[in-house]
A and B are shown apart, each in its own frame.
Chain A
Amino acid sequence: MTAKFPFQSLSLTCVILASLGLPGNTQQLDPNQNLETPFASENAILDTAIPFAIGAREAQQSLRGSFGWPTFQEGLVEGVYFRFDPDGYARFAPTPRLDTDVFEVICRPRTYSCMGRKGTLSAMLNSRGQLQLKIDDVLSGDRFFVSEGVSEIEVPERILQPLDSQMELLLSTGGDLIVRRGDSEKDRISLTGFFAVSAYLRWVAAHQDYTILPRNWPVPNAKGADDGMTRVSNWQSPMPQPQNFPTAQSGLTAYQAQPLTQQQTMIQPVAQNTTQNDVAEVKGELRILRELLLERNQMSATDANAPSSQPVPAQPFDTGLTTVASMDQPVSNQIAALQQAADRIQNDIARLSNTTVLQDTSLGSVQLTQPKPQPMMPTQTSSNADDKATETAARLHYLMTEIGLDAKTAIMLIQLGDNNSQTENNTSFNSNSANSTLSNSPNPLYQDTVVARILSELERDLVQDVSPMDGVNTRPERMTQNEYQLLSEYFRSVALPAQ
């Protein structure tokens, strides 16, 4: 074949046009179009007998004509149905007919280079195995948001650069990717199936390697944890599932697999029927929220634990990493990579949460990885009248802007503190501390009223019971009594005169 490359280009163009829903483009047909290319055996890059997901099956195509792929594979993974041909052409959609909200994957003929496409969004792997997104008609200055239906968060423009695992994980959670130009919504792309497609792209690129599979693949020797995997009721749950890092390439799989398996083990016995499944899923959701809340509280405490002499883990992943490192010495390189990833996460979380209590410009110098005593604000060192007036003003400002109290209440609170300087009745403050902290959280994820309500309920639980929940998560154990008292002391420092 002399004109091999142009031919492939033409074929790929046809494929792309078809994927765009333009079957009848107005270009003049080349009557001598060579159909050998799409169905040549060399183009069969996948063996449809190798399952991509648990429960997937190979099936015969209902061919009436003289050409076509004789088999395909169909199945259900990550809440989306899929079918793919030996040439890699695949469709992922939330309905069995694969008719709506379709993520389509097409592959360059005779290569393992594939591209997922839905609307104006396309995704492909770069040479380093990272997902690279492309969105048509995007201009510089456009902003991107991920919306899960109720609330939305803005994502940085770097989603158009090769995705790191965090960003990929964020997009894999589903919802919609919104492109805004100014105040107007330019585009909205459903992310349903994004996770399955990214896993599929890597699976194809890895020549159907069994180590590259979507999550929920049966874990060897974990029979008890996988008993419910084949139940459709479990697959079809509209609730978000416990997250896992998608690939082994990211190096996080080994770390994530353990807690995921534990969670599944805890959830499975509960899932005896649909209702129980729902309950379990809600509990799982709440558990995740609780973890996030604890992490944030822990971060706040870490940043503001000046009185504390007890070393507090600087990063939420430290314990896990340490555990992994102690269990498996050869993975130290991966741990180092993890450490860097965790640093980035830590920075992000800190940036989102630091405005809760820290206004001091010295915050920029805070080393998150090595907590050091930080003065609680406002300071308590003034002794003269000017200083006291300044201090009172600062208190008033803080109560109004940071705590969110109205002026009258704030003044009353300060007066109350002045009048009852010897009184230690700050129980009410303690009880409100969590809510106050919560209401001032700048994290847009929790600004939503619904989520905030849930979190406030969780916060109350945490205040009353800081012990680990059912042994599911070990992080609450790090909430020591001292840390809890730190908040009391903090409020006392705000509301009461300096001792």
Chain B
Amino acid sequence: MQKTTSETGDSRRTGGFGTAVLFGAMALLAGTIYSISTTARTIFLAQEEEVIPIIAGGDLDQIPALMRGNLASATTSSKYGTQRREKPPRMCEMKPNYFANLDRGMDQPAGYTVRNEYVRKYRDRRGFLNERELRTAKVAWHYFEKFTQETTGLANSVGNYPSTTLWDTASYMAAAVAAYELCLIEKPDFDSRMTKLLTTIKTLELFRKELPNKVYHTKTGEKVDYTNKAGEIGFSALDIGRFLVWMRILKNRYPHLANTVDSVLLKWDFSRAIDPEGLLFGAYVDKETGETVYAQEGRLGYEEYAAKGFALWGFQPKLAHRAEPFLTASIFGVQVPYDGRDPRIFHSQNYVVTESYLQDGLELGFDLPQDDSTPDWLHSDGWRAEFADRIYQVQENRWRQTGFMTARSEHNVKGPPYFTYDTIFSDGYPWNTVTPRGDYVPDHAAVASKAALGLWALWDTEYTNVLYEAIIELYDPENGMFEGLYEQGQGRVEIFTANNNGIILTSLLHKVQGTILTPYTGQTEVWYTAYRDQDLRVKRQYPDPPQEDDWLPALRHSIQAQADF
């Protein structure tokens, strides 16, 4: 009988069987690999399909410089989704009950918020102008009617002296805006004045092709020196900063002037005015060598105000906006902040005056440049508002403890020295009234009209009522508001200036409309889109539209809990 294969076992050892097993295993392995790779591909392909696409202008879009100008500037309303403030109507267009339902934040406690915003102890004044105030506005505006040059549209800084600075030109713009909003002039007049002014400024010869010279002749538009003779002396970062504030106000309020406004600034070269750390620099001509010298400019008060002017146009003056280095001096129980840079070393005085704080409060509402949504009673640039409260309080305390009405600022005087810094504190002395070269001239101490009315507008108190009564009739119907009232009883400061009358008009406008700066309502701006196809933006350091990372920070400083004597 024959044995089967399985019994003998010979069939498993055949070559054919082995080959078959080998191929089988290889086929199995290949199949496994295929299935794994297929599965992996399926998985990977599926993930790839789920990636969020980069949208032009979106967060993931590495947008080329050419296109960055199209971005909208980031503001608090766009980022936080809060309601944007609206431009208030002109006074003559306001409803009689306009102020009845105004949010004054009267129930808000004073102090810092978690976002370092600040609520002041006092509120500003709001309401329609009464007859006396309206008369004051008309008289103040008359200064500009009288002393604006037909040929250039520039207004004289002081009386009929045909000379001006960008600082005083900004005061003229402020006066024109106030006159229009208070219905003293109508749109044709306003547009005519502003267009004439802006086109003249656009054609001004710049200081060494960089920025406007410090002084210009108002009749000819020539750049001049301090004696009003043709020549150039440098540029002032502070003057330019204030001018930028009012250019932004003009542009935001009146979009039909926006292109003209942008075209003026697009002729300027900002590369020397602000450094990478955000410090502001002015320029002057070295007397010996004739070379341009760039020097840091600005001290606590003015420096931050000017810095915000630059920031309104996308620059990042982060260091200039900070209060440090600062010190405080205890005066009548108030810790008055002053710039800590020693004037003996830096050869630049650290004047503490009211004006820069007033301008910040009246024009910018003590807000950060990116803030377009907080109410007037909430100040997003908190420490500025808190410092301003101290500046007010120390002046009220002086009045209460000595009887001297006090509203101190820089102001012109009749006769030598023609200009004084009537300070709260400077050079280590409280209530120091000094000339530009440092002489102590207490006889020139005065209640400055602009400071008095500015304090009256921003601090609704018994003391500012007294100030109001002191200066509201201080006018010459032919020439405008007087500069002030001498503290020592010598009478009025009988001189008329653009800055004084401009700030008085701003104060009156603030009473009617609140913070002067209104939000920008457009999307892109020529200021940000121009010259994208050239290297001019890089050379002149034109900024891109500021995004959230570019915002100036909201900071706070230690507050004074009790009087310090």
Interface residues of A (CB under 8 A from B): 14-15, 17-19, 21-26, 28-29, 31-36, 38-41, 44, 49, 58-72, 74, 83, 85, 89, 91, 97-99, 106
Contacts and interface: CB of A to CB of B under 8 A. Distances in A.
A14 B415 CA distance: 6
Contact of B439 (A25, A66, A98): A98
B478 to A, nearest CB: 6
A119 to B, nearest CB: 14
A38 B412 CA distance: 14
28 contacts: A14-B415, A15-B415, A18-B416, A23-B415, A23-B443, A23-B486, A23-B493, A24-B414, A24-B486, A36-B228, A39-B226, A39-B228, A40-B228, A40-B229, A62-B437, A65-B419, A66-B165, A66-B215, A66-B228, A67-B157, A67-B158, A67-B163, A68-B226, A68-B418, A71-B287, A74-B438, A83-B439, A97-B439
Interface in B426-443: 427, 429, 436-440, 442-443
B194 to A, nearest CB: 21
B173 to A, nearest CB: 16
A65 B348 CA distance: 16
A97 B434 CA distance: 9
Contact of A23 (B215, B410, B429, B490): B490
Interface of B: 157-161, 163-165, 167-168, 214-215, 225-229, 233, 284, 287, 347-349, 410, 412-419, 421, 427, 429, 436-440, 442-444, 476, 478-479, 486, 490-496
Contacts of A49: 287
B436 A32 contact: no
A23 to B, nearest CB: 5
Contact of A35 (B159, B168, B429, B493): B159
B437 A99 contact: no
A31 B160 contact: yes
Q: What are the nearest 7 A-B pairs in CB distance?
A: A24-B490, A99-B440, A29-B494, A18-B415, A35-B161, A97-B440, A14-B415
Contact of B349 (A28, A62, A67): A62
Given A36-B228, A64-B419, A85 B437 contact: yes
A33 B160 CA distance: 7
Residue among B349, B413, B419, B495 with most chain A CB within 10 A: B419
B490 A22 contact: yes
* Interface hub of A24, A44, A63 (most chain B Cβ within 10 A): A24
Given A62-B349, A99-B440, A40 B215 contact: no
Contact of B161 (A23, A62, A67): A67
Contacts of B226: 39, 63, 66-70
B229 A41 contact: yes
Contacts of B164: 66
Contacts of B486: 23-24
Given A40-B228, A97-B429, A106-B416, 12 more contacts: A23-B486, A29-B414, A31-B160, A31-B479, A34-B160, A35-B159, A44-B227, A62-B421, A65-B165, A66-B161, A97-B438, A97-B439
Contact of A31 (B233, B444, B478): B478
B436 A38 contact: no
B447 to A, nearest CB: 12
A23 B437 contact: no
A40 B227 CA distance: 5
A32 B419 contact: no
Contacts of B414: 14, 23-24, 29, 33
